[in-house]
Amino acid sequence: MGTVAAVSTPAASVGDLPALRAPVEAAFAGINTRFTIFQPDSELSRANRTAGNGEFVMLSPDVADVLRVALRLSHDSGGVFDPTIGPLMAAWGFRGGSVSKEPTPEELDAARTRVGWTNILWDAAESNRMRLALPGMRLDLGGIAKGYAVDVGYDRLLQAGYTNFMVDLGGNLRVHGEAAPGRGGWCTGIRHPFAAGEILGTLLLTNGESVATSGNYERFVEFNGHRYAHIMDPRTGRPAEGVAGVTVLAPAGVQCDGLSATLFILGPEAGRKFLAQRPGCEACWIPDRKPLCMLATPGFARRFTPLPELQSTLTVLP
């Protein structure tokens, strides 16, 4: 999945690490094989090759389930989250695309004709069979699959009887128990988007909770001195701008992963209204401007401890 994975356990249980690693690593490997768009024999690659020819493709139950979760988020967000964003990602040089200049309005218009979550059609006779209605469509679950993988790794460790652990896939985290007796959970640092290697503060996670961050500072392209992040707004055909990073706290990884990209695009004003319909989900936005400003929902602010020198930069949204 193009990122680094880790499993953590309290220091007193360090001897358990090999046993914790094995089921999580196996789960991640299987999910990568089914969900990747970079291997020609994966399920998503087969679906993409048949786009527009009327052929239905059978998906594994978990791929079909995650796609349905993605489509519910697409519906609820009015298409802000769109798992068919692939043609636009390629047009900007992401997900295997290769471009030397900013795409023209005509090129973006052409790519947008091949994007649209409502053009994913299910076979009425078989619930896990789907097809892409338009030629050139490209299904891409990169905005939600890592969160699902974290959930699977988390569930496997619970089933194996482990009680204190953290699963981390590229900054998508889910925790259980405590990092040490009396901690009340696990703390993770929230990355400073304007200072590499530094954090803004720490966030406390408790049993089953997940956190994910979307930012404009890791995967990006530059044209004529302007940096464009990999988080694409399907409404405009352009990378979302105005937000440097958003961190989301949610009850599960798949929910957290999908929401982080969605809320990055929506921004704090529309995003907080969207979150109000999702109990247990909280977020903190960092606008892409200086001086630093953090805009957090009340539930996030209660769990978040900024560095002392940054306390004054935190605003709790109404």
Superfamily of domain 5-9+168-307: ApbE-like domains (3.10.520.10)
Average pLDDT, the chain: 94
**Residue 220: pLDDT band by 50, 70, 90 thresholds?**
confident
Domain extent listing, the chain: 5-9+168-307
* Residue 126 CB contacts under 8 Å (≥ 6 apart), including other chains: 56, 58
Q: Can you say how many angstroms the Cα of residue 271 is from the centroid of all Cα atoms in its chain? A: 15
% of residues, the chain, pLDDT over 70? 99
Q: Which long-range contacts (CB under 8 A, 24 or more apart) does 113-116 make?
A: 114/84, 114/87, 114/138, 115/82, 115/84, 115/85, 115/86, 115/87, 115/88, 115/234, 115/237, 116/79, 116/82, 116/84
Neighbours of 169 (CB within 10 A): 26
Mean pLDDT of 96-105: 82
Terminal-to-terminal C-alpha distance of the chain: 37
pLDDT tens digits, 265-286: 999 999 999 999 999 999 999 9
* Residue 58 CB contacts under 8 Å (≥ 6 apart), including other chains: 126, 128, 129
The pTM of this model reads 0.94
DSSP 20-58: HHHHHHHHHHHHHHHH-SSSTTSHHHHHHHTTTTT--EE
Q: Which two tokens stand for residue 34?
A: 């089914």
Rounded-to-integer distance, Cα 228 and Cα 53, Å: 33
**Residue 219: pLDDT band by 50, 70, 90 thresholds?**
confident
Rounded-to-integer distance, Cα 147 and Cα 127, Å: 23
- Contact criterion met (CB below 8 Å) for 237 and 112: yes
